[in-house]
Amino acid sequence: MNPSIQPSRLTLGFIEAGLTLAGIIAAVTPLVLWTAWSIPVFYIVLSVGSASFLVFIALAKLRGMILQDSGPDTNSIGRDNLSQRRIDWEQKQEDDREVRTRQRSIKGDARRELGFMAGVSSSLFLGAIVLFVAVWALLDYRYG
């Protein structure tokens, strides 16, 4: 966070509320334009929608300026940084192998579960058909 600017929770709350309200108005504007019943209403809705877009952009810029990160420069590449990147890359490769084996086991489990669900749903469907046919036969026999 920028040390010269200490944002209060209230200020950020108002900015976020304004962003939310302007975003909702901007999202609803095309729908309301479509249903505008007269030319003046069309232009009023168009101006309010355009203003909400501008307010949204301004509030987003303001929030970005307030919550500006003052972190260290990450573009510098030193010897320690390169060795850490190599270690991270090797760890990622190991993690990828573990993920692939887990994905294979999950795929097998998913196939079994899908087969089980297909069997249950076809059994329920067949049961419903048998029940409806039985009720139809009974009604046809009794009242037909």
Tens digits of per-residue pLDDT, 70-84? 444 555 566 677 788
Q: Considering the entire predicted model, what is its pTM?
A: 0.43
pLDDT at 4 exceeding the cut of 70: no
Q: What is the mean pLDDT of residues 108-131?
A: 88
Pinpoint the alpha helices (H) of the chain. Answer: 9-34, 39-66, 79-143
- The structure tokens listed for 63 are 């929030």
Query: What is the C-alpha to C-alpha distance for residues 69 and 142, in angstroms, rounded to an integer?
Result: 81
CA atoms within 13 A on the CB side of 26: 14
Query: What is the C-alpha to C-alpha distance for residues 63 and 15, in angstroms, rounded to an integer?
Result: 7
User: What is the reported pLDDT for 138?
Assistant: 92
Place 131 in a pLDDT band, splitting at 50, 70 and 90: very high
Query: What is the C-alpha to C-alpha distance for residues 67 and 5, in angstroms, rounded to an integer?
Result: 9
Q: Give the phi and the psi of residue 70 in degrees, each rounded to 5.
A: -115, 55
pLDDT tens-digit readout, 87-119: 887 788 777 777 777 766 666 677 778 888 999
Residue 66 CB-density burial (10 A; 0-12 exposed, 13-18 middle, 19+ buried) = middle
- Each domain of the chain, given as residue ranges in start order, spans 1-71
User: Which 8-state DSSP code applies to residue 4?
Assistant: T
Task: Bin 77: left if φ > 0, else alpha if -120 < ψ < 50, else beta.
Answer: beta
